[in-house]
């Protein structure tokens, strides 16, 4: 039995330590980045989490006060009902107009090839259109290429450069017309990966919509709207 | 007791269905999911953060995250409660790490609290597993079990816990890792760990 821990790989140890919660801030951050980009590592962590989570039954349940739900309800309310009244959204929107100008000034949308699209069931009617965007910072420097593949229901992200966002999470947003930004979720921009997004969020995604990336607290914006600096924007065009 | 696992998994299926509807934008289903799980998640967060206002902030963040990530929930990989509880624990620990430290009780106090038997109202979908995992933990050498409890329930770092217990951090890590491997070995035949 005493040999067990000597036989563990570093990844197995890290997964165990992360799931238990004993890592310090820097190590957690590193492990969290691995989780997002490495399915094998994530499976190890999930194994430990699944084993340990029944322990939570020993923690006394505590009913939260009612205003917690009220605050959640505001954040998840449909955009058209909640947004016009929110000054925060309005001011964010104003600054968005600014980035659009910045982002489109010198950036042509890069067309990127996606080789591994398998034969997918094609729905009757018009074939779904592949959309691409090059997301660039205000200096015009491309940060990453994004391609929306409607057949896979995924946005494929290909970073053009490395970023170190420390203990922050980059979050992807889509802005359609005058509507407030909609989150497409926290993304990993350390390596190429397919980012699967729920069908509901992708509804109506079309050429002309703007993708933006903001830097949010670890795990994503706490408010459902961008709260951190916007590092890149780009417009979707049809391939 | 024999009826518990069946009831429990029916509960998990219901919660998974609520998440699926939430992923399609059904707020009423999400409200039901919140009503069924929020006391458990708040308990987990409160245990790590202690400070109530901060715990409420984190609970709010957690459910907004659950709403936004509902489509990513995969019943083949975790139960709905495990999935949501993991988000809550991770978010609470991140907040705790960002904050620095808090006054903590010695290791004996952690084991006192954690040894309280799980009550029926919080056994949402893990009834039988909980008994098995608690048994596996109780079977460990007491120091190993106490170290695991302190990390898991209080969100302490190995370094902070080693300092509090006045033992080398390497010793503590070895206690924790040996203890967890032993628990895993005891639980795996029934498919506890993938």
Token pair listed for A204? 């109506």
Where does chain A have alpha helices with state H?
Answer: 4-7, 10-20, 25-37, 39-52, 66-76, 79-82, 87-106, 199-202
Measured between CA atoms, how close is A169 to chain B, in angstroms?
13
Among candidates A138, A48, A157, which has minimal Cα distance to B181?
Answer: A48
Alpha carbon distance A59, A41 (integer Å): 28
- Partner residue facing B148 (CB), from A20, A23, A46: A20
Q: Are residues B81 and B135 in the same domain?
A: no
The predicted-structure confidence for A99-115, as pLDDT tens digits, reads as follows 444 343 333 333 232 32
The predicted-structure confidence for B37-64, as pLDDT tens digits, reads as follows 999 999 999 999 999 999 999 999 999 9
B65 vs A: CB within 8 A: yes
What is the mean pLDDT of the segment spanning B98-106?
59
Q: Are residues B4 and B96 in the same domain?
A: yes
| Cα dihedral A55→A60→A61→A63 (10° resolution) | -160
Alpha carbon distance A68, A80 (integer Å): 22
Q: Are residues B2 and B90 in the same domain?
A: yes
| Average per-residue pLDDT for chain A | 73
| Cα dihedral A158→A32→A35→A23 (10° resolution) | 150
Alpha carbon distance B47, B45 (integer Å): 5
Q: Comparing A47-51, A142-146, A188-192, B14-18, which segment has the lowest mean pLDDT? A: A188-192
Reply yes or no on whether the pLDDT at B161 is more than 80.
yes
When mean pLDDT is compared over A168-172, B118-122, B143-147, the highest value belongs to: B143-147
CB-CB contact of A45 with A19 (8 Å): yes
Partners of residue A63 in chain B, C-beta under 8 Å: 38-39, 42
| Helix (H) or strand (E) segment spanning residue B126 | none
Q: Are residues B33 and B83 in the same domain?
A: yes
Token pair listed for A147? 């391609």
Domains and CATH numbers, chain A: 4-58 (no CATH), 87-117+126-238 (2.60.40)
Residue, of A94 and A199, whose pLDDT is higher: A199
The predicted-structure confidence for A158-178, as pLDDT tens digits, reads as follows 777 777 777 788 888 888 877
Reply yes or no on whether the pLDDT at B158 is more than 90.
yes
Residue, of A122 and A163, whose pLDDT is higher: A163
The predicted-structure confidence for B62-71, as pLDDT tens digits, reads as follows 999 999 999 9
Q: Are residues B2 and B92 in the same domain?
A: yes
CB-CB contact of B118 with A58 (8 Å): yes
Token pair listed for A81? 């009902």
Q: Are residues B93 and B124 in the same domain?
A: no
**CATH code for the domain of B177:** 1.10.10.10
Q: Are residues B21 and B49 in the same domain?
A: yes
Neighbour count for residue A172 (Cβ, 10 Å): 25
Residues of chain B above pLDDT 90, percent: 66
Instruction: Give me the residue label for tokens 């989150």.
Output: A183
CB contact under 8 A, A51 and B193: yes
With b for 16 or more beta-carbon neighbours within 10 A and e for fewer, the B76-102 pattern comes to ebbbbbbbbbbbbbbbbbbbbbeeeee
Q: What is the pLDDT of residue A5?
A: 62
Reply yes or no on whether the pLDDT at A220 is more than 60.
yes
Q: Which residue of A has its CA nearest to B111?
A: A58
The predicted-structure confidence for A13-34, as pLDDT tens digits, reads as follows 999 999 999 999 999 999 999 9
Q: What is the pLDDT of residue B147?
A: 94
Helix, strand, coil share of chain B (percent; to 5): 75, 0, 25
Residue A196: Cβ-neighbour burial (10 angstroms; 0-12, 13-18, 19+): middle
Q: Are residues B145 and B194 in the same domain?
A: yes
| Helix (H) or strand (E) segment spanning residue A154 | strand A154-159
**Please, how many CA atoms are within 13 Å of residue A14, restricted to the half-sphere of its CB?**
17
Parent domain of B177: 104-194
Chain B residues 130-189 with a CB less than 8 Å from chain A: 130, 132-134, 137, 148-149, 151-153, 155-159, 161, 173-174, 176-178, 180-185, 187
Given B101, B133, B153, which residue is the final one in a domain?
Answer: B101
Q: Are residues B85 and B23 in the same domain?
A: yes
Q: Are residues B139 and B173 in the same domain?
A: yes
Given B55, B86, B101, which residue is the final one in a domain?
Answer: B101
Among candidates A47, A51, A236, A2, which has minimal Cα distance to A134?
Answer: A236
Q: What is the pLDDT of residue A109?
A: 31
CB-CB contact of A83 with A179 (8 Å): yes
Q: Are residues B8 and B65 in the same domain?
A: yes
Where does B77-119 have alpha helices with state H?
Answer: 80-99, 107-114
Residues contacting residue B145 through CB under 8 Å, at least 6 positions apart: B111, B137, B138, B179
* Tally of domains in chain B: 2
**Residue A232 phi, psi dihedral angles, 5° rounding:** -160, 150
Q: Are residues B15 and B94 in the same domain?
A: yes
pLDDT band at A152 (very low <50, low <70, confident <90, very high): low
Given B71, B101, B131, which residue is the final one in a domain?
Answer: B101
Partners of residue A11 in chain B, C-beta under 8 Å: none
What is the mean pLDDT of the segment spanning B18-43?
96
């Amino acid at each position: 039995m005493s040999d067990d821990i000597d036989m563990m790989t570093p990844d197995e140890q890290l997964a165990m330590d992360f799931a238990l919660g004993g890592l310090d801030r820097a190590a957690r951050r590193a492990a969290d980045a691995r989780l997002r980009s490495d399915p094998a590592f994530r499976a190890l962590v999930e194994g430990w989490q699944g084993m340990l989570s029944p322990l939570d039954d020993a923690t006394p349940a505590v009913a939260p006060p009612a205003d917690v739900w009220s605050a959640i309800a505001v954040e998840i309310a449909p955009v058209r009902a909640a947004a016009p009244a929110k000054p925060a959204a309005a001011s964010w929107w104003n600054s968005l107009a600014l980035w659009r100008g910045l982002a489109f000034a010198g950036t042509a949308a890069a067309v990127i090839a996606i080789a591994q699209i398998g034969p997918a069931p094609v729905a009757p009617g018009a074939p779904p259109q592949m959309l691409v965007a090059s997301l660039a910072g205000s200096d015009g420097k491309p940060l990453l290429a994004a391609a929306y593949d409607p057949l896979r229901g995924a946005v494929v992200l290909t970073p053009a450069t490395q970023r170190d966002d420390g203990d922050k999470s980059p979050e992807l947003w889509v802005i359609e017309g005058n509507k407030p930004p909609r989150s497409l979720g926290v993304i990993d921009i350390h390596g190429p990966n397919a980012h699967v997004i729920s069908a509901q969020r992708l509804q109506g995604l079309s050429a002309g919509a703007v993708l933006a990336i903001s830097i949010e607290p670890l795990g994503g914006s706490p408010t459902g709207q961008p709260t951190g600096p916007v590092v890149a924007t780009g417009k979707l065009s049809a391939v | 007791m024999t009826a518990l696992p069946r009831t429990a998994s029916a509960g998990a299926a219901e919660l998974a269905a609520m998440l699926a509807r939430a992923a399609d934008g059904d707020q009423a289903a999400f409200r039901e999911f919140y009503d069924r799980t929020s006391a458990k998640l708040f308990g987990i967060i409160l245990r790590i953060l202690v400070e109530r206002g901060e715990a409420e902030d984190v609970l709010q963040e957690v459910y907004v995250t659950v709403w936004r990530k509902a489509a990513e929930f995969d019943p083949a990989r975790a139960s709905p409660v495990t999935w949501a509880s993991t988000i809550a624990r991770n978010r609470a620990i991140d907040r705790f790490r960002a904050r620095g430290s808090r006054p903590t009780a010695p290791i004996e106090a952690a084991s006192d609290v954690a040894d309280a038997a799980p009550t029926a109202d919080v056994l949402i979908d893990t009834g039988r597993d909980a008994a098995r995992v608690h048994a596996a933990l109780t079977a460990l050498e007491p120091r190993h079990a106490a170290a695991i409890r302190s990390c898991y329930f209080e969100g302490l770092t190995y370094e902070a816990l080693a300092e509090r217990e006045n033992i080398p951090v390497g010793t503590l890590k070895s206690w924790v890792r040996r203890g967890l491997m032993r628990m895993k070995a005891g639980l795996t035949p029934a498919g506890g760990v993938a």
